[in-house]
Structure 1
Amino acid sequence: MSSDISNEYFCDGLTEEIINALAKIKQLSVTSRTSSFYFKNKTVTAEEIREKLEVATFIEGSVRASKKKLRITVQMIDTVDDFHFWSETFDRNPENIFEIQDEISLFIAEKLREHIGHLEIEDKLVEPIDIPVAIYREYLKGRYFLMKLGYDNTYKAIDIFEGIIKKAPNFPNPYLDINQGYVYMGTMGLLPAFEAYKKAQPYLQKALELDPNSSRSQLNLAWIECWQNWNLKKAYEHANNALEIQPADDIYLTISNFLTVEGKLDAARNYLDKALELDPYAAINHHYKGFLYYLKEEYETAIPYLKKALELDPMLPFPPIYIGISLLMSGKPNEALTYFGSLKGISVKDLTKLGGETMCYAKLNETEKCNDGLKELETYLTTALVDKAFTFLILVNALLGNNEKVVDFVTQAYHNRLPLILLLNPSPILKPVKNHKGFKDIMLKAIPDNVNYKQKKKYKQALLDANEIKKYSKELDQIMIDYKLYLNPDLSLKDLASYLELPVNYVSQLLNLGFQKNFSEYVNSYRVKEFKERILLEENKGLTIMAVAYDSGFNSKTVFNTFFKKIEGITPNTYLKSNS
């Protein structure tokens, strides 16, 4: 609420820290930064926020700052009844910023616990950083520009972070942020991927020396292991480490990326849905949902998600590619050609317009125009746009049926270690080339655990050994806790199998040997536990037993009563009376 723009950086930084702090509490599902900030400075009702973010509770507040005084107001609002639970004002010294962030985060967590029930809360949610407040304020300015994205904003942020490193060389965050900035530009095609990753590497290395165990350090390592080192096993290890430290939408999105590379599209969508739940206004999450539908050849379904991504961030470079290709592959080449021809701005600079039109000419059998496009694309192979040039050259030649040419370009891209190789694996346009020995050899070198080429396991008497049963049992329990799958009354054995990426027969055996239960017994045991917790909550006192049972995932009175008595040894009514 202050006129000085520098206080906006401070306010955004404070908000982001509180979001990150609350996200550390395992039992809470906290909407991520992008979607929270979407409502900044907008007049919206509690009902709109409930519908758009699907949240039961939200926190809002304001910051008024001067050199000597900081006034922060915070209030908590129930989105169902538009009821203000509490409002608090903190008058503090700006020099104590880290203590303030921790104090407010803990205060909110405690108030949430009073309102929604027991939460495990650590003694500290925000660790202090050993740097002067003036430098921290400058750091928040850098974060402000980094999160605005785009080429100019990212370089502006990098310049600020470089200045901070000179003043505070042992502060790990700016190193991580510079690394993130370069990786973002390489991934988005704003810089050649190889050049961007090379620039990013020393900054990450230094950050790891200073703080190897932060969630962001582990996430950055996951990116490197996948896109630079092509080591998916290590990439998953680091991503899961990051998820354990702090569940966040960008970590779920990252794991979805890795699963996509392997061709495990159903599992990738499960992780992506979790990312969208936490950050429904992140353009990249909507883009990736559309991209997954494109890979599954559900082109009509893909387009609305891709358009939503552009609506949220018109500068995002990927959606135009796949909107145009989805039109092309769904039998609308002329419509696709019109779409690519209408592109302006970043899509022209990054070859989307040229590459897309050339693909359309290939499909429309306009040989001369297609050849002209191919020749022009080849001129970019020695420029900063080499990644996009190779991508379109491969796709156009695949549409033309020039399989040998496709393999030649794929081989060149492989030897140049271009990240695009990994996303060729699940591409529907490359289906006709997938059995070509040269293409198959490269895909297996890049992705050894490649579901497109690995032979399926033959069924045997014991489908899973003892170690696998132990491993997958733990994994399944964690999935049930994280995703609360049991709340879906239509949950099936097939659904569980998709989350574990195992055949249905394997999961059936896993439940029998690992839990000594069949599917219904396993899922309904979670539902009974959920019911026992919900029925005793003050807020549910006015509900009938069956209303709470339905909220807990049951869809039949008979099944509920039968399973409850089987598991608890008493009827639901008796349980309620004995615990009232």
Structure 2
Amino acid sequence: MIDKKSIAVLPFVNMSNNIENEYFCDGLTEEIINALAKIKDLSVTSRTSSFYFKNKTVTAKEIRERLNVATFIEGSVRASKNKIRITVQMIDTGNDLHFWSETFDRNPDNVFQIQDEVSLFIAEKLREHIGHLEIEDKLVEPINVPVAIYREYLKGRYYIMKLDVKNSIKGINILKDVIKKEPNFIQPYLDINLSYTYMGTLGLLPADEAFQNAQPFFQKAIELNPNSSRVQLNLSWIECWHNWNLEKAYEHANKALEIQPSDDIYLTISNYLTVEGKLDSAHNFLDKALQLDPFSAMNHHYKGFLLYLQEKYNDALPYLQKALELNTDLVFPPLYIGECLLFTGKQEEAVTYYNNLKGIPVTDLTQLGGLALCYAKMNDYKKCEEKVIELETYLESKNIDKAFNFLILVNVLLGNYDKAIDLVEQAFENHLPLILLLNTEPIIKPIKNNKRFKSIMLKAIPDNVNYKQKKKYKQALLDTNEIKKYSKELEQIMIDYKLYLNPDLSLKDLASYLELPANYVSQLLNLGFQKNFSEYVNTFRVNEFKERVLQKENKGLTIMAVAYDSGFNSKTVFNTFFKKIEGITPNAYLKSNS
């Protein structure tokens, strides 16, 4: 079922011949997406998926099916020296109804005012169409730089968002010039950091070189605004992958989520849950990322990766293949596509797949490591040894992390468990990030219960759910800080997933989302919210009913029909809880608000 409070903003069409106007069109689209994403309870498709449809002709039905949204915005921009004309339309994807269109003729020098005005207008019209939304007085904050400099910034961002090396370097050089002119403008620093980090992560540049190039720009961004959502997300990555401090990593990621929700923040939290071994919860957050950005190659890859970790190899393959379809330069999926073939008995097919890999540099080690895994699994010791010797030559290179990873996995497959654990120990001493993902790797299973391996894992991740002793119930189940932490997490889960709409929701269901025993969640509700399970969940249902019953599209429904749609499954329970919470009957509420 499509959430009626969901929207996509398609890239605005450049109606001018001037390429400069193309930068403004993309920038305006991004600003509107970012502005609408600030509205609580509104689900906004991310940039990647919206821009997938740039320069493509699509129907409302296609947008509904492919982006899973109830509404979308399309528009165009025509610019001249003294005037800019922006035309905006809002379309209901269910019936292909263009329920409003507006044209804005404005002075091109008032760029920030234009962005805010158009965003607010869209938000207000959306509220009229779908029901109540809390909208702030301003959605786009003006930037204290001259318009000419801002247009140069949009030009630089236009090139780096093409996400290939040639255009990224071109965009970075433009943004460096912007920084020289406006050294206190934070966005160019964040975008240069993003561009280098992306190229390093995808293997488009040597990782160490890319991250070193990014670092000074990120440090300056922290100085300028430590509370930026992008800054908080980057700090979160550093705490996890560099400092191995998951508590701090979650803290920064949740702060970024509070400032402005986005698919990459949900993806990041899914990463951390994977590190902890909480794979079911990792799926929940990843599904939210996919909902916001269904055309993100990385989101599809990670969904496939999670299924691979759960040894659901046949289920994983379509996601991994879709990731490559969306981005042929993505270096991660091929390794796991080959492994899925290998572990479903298609060993020769896996060897052929790795041998025929195209477009991935040899130094990425996917082909070399993938073949080593195949030969180890097939007990072809001679060929395996040749690949292992070659992998060992990379232990002194920039690819030390990948080399160690393959050597550990190959030795486990060969049954050389002590050798594999020696390598794990060396990787730990070298503080290699691969350590954080070893505990969920299926190939590692034969050594997971080894005392020495457990010890290394616990030193790296003290809260590792795979290796710590099973928590014994205690009299005081949760302390004050834990209650505060989990209360916040539970509220976010209820908002994101609307669990209360399930009439059969149980305390155990709620507990599974928090990865806590039901006893703990019962105590959490009692001490954190002063409610029992029924009171807590039905409060959400009452609020949902109050919102739905006043909507135009529900005018023809009975009160109980709306109550059932809001998650209640009993007339008595609904009437009792409504009067308890609101102090009046549902009928009286409806009459007083008609």
- TM-score band by shorter chain is over 0.9
The CA distance in 1 between the partners of 2:129 and 2:338, in whole Å, is 48
Does 1:382 pair with 2:378?
A: no
When structure 1 is superposed on structure 2, of 207-216 and 471-480 the one drifting more is 471-480
The CA distance in 2 between the partners of 1:131 and 1:565, in whole Å, is 54
**Corresponding residue for residue 185 of structure 2:** 171
Matches within 5 A, 1:352-371: 352-371=366-385
- Corresponding letter in the other structure for 2:538: N
For residue 219 of structure 1, report the CA deviation from its aligned partner.
0.9
* Contact kept? 2:281, 2:513, Cα under 8 Å: yes
**Corresponding residue for residue 112 of structure 2:** 98
SS state at 1:148 partner: coil
For residue 76 of structure 1, report the CA deviation from its aligned partner.
1.1
Equivalent in 519, 529, 532 of residue 543 of structure 2: 529
Matches within 5 A, 1:128-277: 128-277=142-291
TM-score normalised according to structure 1 size: 0.93
- Per-residue CA shift, 1:265-309, capped at 9, x if unaligned? 122111111111111111111111111111122222211111121
Residue ranges of structure 1 left out of the alignment (5+ in a row) = none
CA RMSD of aligned residues (A): 2.3
Equivalent in 281, 293, 297 of residue 295 of structure 2: 281
The CA distance in 2 between the partners of 1:572 and 1:123, in whole Å, is 32
The CA distance in 2 between the partners of 1:557 and 1:165, in whole Å, is 63
Does 1:492 pair with 2:506?
A: yes
Equivalent in 424, 427, 439 of residue 441 of structure 2: 427
When structure 1 is superposed on structure 2, of 284-293 and 408-417 the one drifting more is 408-417
**Corresponding residue for residue 303 of structure 1:** 317
The CA distance in 2 between the partners of 1:126 and 1:154, in whole Å, is 26
* Contact kept? 1:70, 1:94, Cα under 8 Å: yes
The CA distance in 1 between the partners of 2:509 and 2:283, in whole Å, is 12
**Corresponding residue for residue 335 of structure 2:** 321
**Corresponding residue for residue 10 of structure 2:** none
When structure 1 is superposed on structure 2, of 289-298 and 493-502 the one drifting more is 493-502
SS state at 2:44 partner: coil
* Contact kept? 1:189, 1:388, Cα under 8 Å: no
Equivalent in 85, 91, 94 of residue 80 of structure 1: 94
Does 1:439 pair with 2:438?
A: no
* Contact kept? 1:534, 1:548, Cα under 8 Å: yes
For residue 215 of structure 1, report the CA deviation from its aligned partner.
0.8
Does 1:50 pair with 2:64?
A: yes
For residue 141 of structure 1, report the CA deviation from its aligned partner.
2.2
The CA distance in 1 between the partners of 2:55 and 2:564, in whole Å, is 38
When structure 1 is superposed on structure 2, of 237-246 and 451-460 the one drifting more is 451-460
* Contact kept? 1:11, 1:63, Cα under 8 Å: yes
* Contact kept? 1:263, 1:452, Cα under 8 Å: yes
The CA distance in 2 between the partners of 1:273 and 1:497, in whole Å, is 18
* Contact kept? 1:320, 1:347, Cα under 8 Å: no
Does 1:115 pair with 2:150?
A: no
Does 1:20 pair with 2:64?
A: no
* Contact kept? 2:132, 2:547, Cα under 8 Å: no
* Contact kept? 1:193, 1:418, Cα under 8 Å: no
For residue 556 of structure 1, report the CA deviation from its aligned partner.
5.5
**Corresponding residue for residue 456 of structure 1:** 470
Q: 1:154 to 1:230 in 2, by over 3 A?
A: farther
For residue 452 of structure 1, report the CA deviation from its aligned partner.
1.7
Q: 1:230 to 1:472 in 2, by over 3 A?
A: closer
The CA distance in 1 between the partners of 2:378 and 2:392, in whole Å, is 21
- Corresponding letter in the other structure for 1:55: V
Q: 1:463 to 1:349 in 2, by over 3 A?
A: same
The CA distance in 1 between the partners of 2:256 and 2:72, in whole Å, is 25
- Corresponding letter in the other structure for 1:461: Q
Does 1:36 pair with 2:36?
A: no
For residue 247 of structure 1, report the CA deviation from its aligned partner.
0.8
* Contact kept? 1:102, 1:126, Cα under 8 Å: yes
SS state at 1:300 partner: helix
Equivalent in 349, 360, 375 of residue 335 of structure 1: 349
The CA distance in 2 between the partners of 1:563 and 1:419, in whole Å, is 50
Does 1:402 pair with 2:382?
A: no
The CA distance in 2 between the partners of 1:199 and 1:416, in whole Å, is 22
SS state at 1:95 partner: coil
- Per-residue CA shift, 1:148-184, capped at 9, x if unaligned? 2233333333222222222222211111112222222
* Contact kept? 1:193, 1:419, Cα under 8 Å: no
For residue 570 of structure 1, report the CA deviation from its aligned partner.
6.4
Q: 1:417 to 1:328 in 2, by over 3 A?
A: same
Identity across the alignment (%):
78
- Per-residue CA shift, 1:72-110, capped at 9, x if unaligned? 111111122221221111222222211211111111122
Equivalent in 83, 87, 98 of residue 69 of structure 1: 83
- Corresponding letter in the other structure for 1:433: I
When structure 1 is superposed on structure 2, of 129-138 and 296-305 the one drifting more is 129-138
The CA distance in 2 between the partners of 1:474 and 1:234, in whole Å, is 16
The CA distance in 2 between the partners of 1:559 and 1:427, in whole Å, is 47
When structure 1 is superposed on structure 2, of 464-473 and 448-457 the one drifting more is 464-473
- Per-residue CA shift, 1:534-554, capped at 9, x if unaligned? 112122112233432332123
For residue 468 of structure 1, report the CA deviation from its aligned partner.
3.6
**Corresponding residue for residue 308 of structure 2:** 294
Number of residue pairs the alignment of both structures matches: 580
* Contact kept? 1:59, 1:77, Cα under 8 Å: yes
- Corresponding letter in the other structure for 1:340: Y
The CA distance in 1 between the partners of 2:534 and 2:340, in whole Å, is 40
SS state at 1:59 partner: strand
SS state at 2:161 partner: helix
Q: 1:569 to 1:217 in 2, by over 3 A?
A: closer
* Contact kept? 1:99, 1:128, Cα under 8 Å: yes
For residue 244 of structure 1, report the CA deviation from its aligned partner.
0.8
* Contact kept? 1:180, 1:220, Cα under 8 Å: no
**Corresponding residue for residue 556 of structure 2:** 542
SS state at 1:135 partner: helix
* Contact kept? 1:47, 1:79, Cα under 8 Å: yes
SS state at 2:184 partner: coil
Equivalent in 12, 19, 29 of residue 5 of structure 1: 19
Does 1:511 pair with 2:525?
A: yes
Residue ranges of structure 2 left out of the alignment (5+ in a row) = 1-14
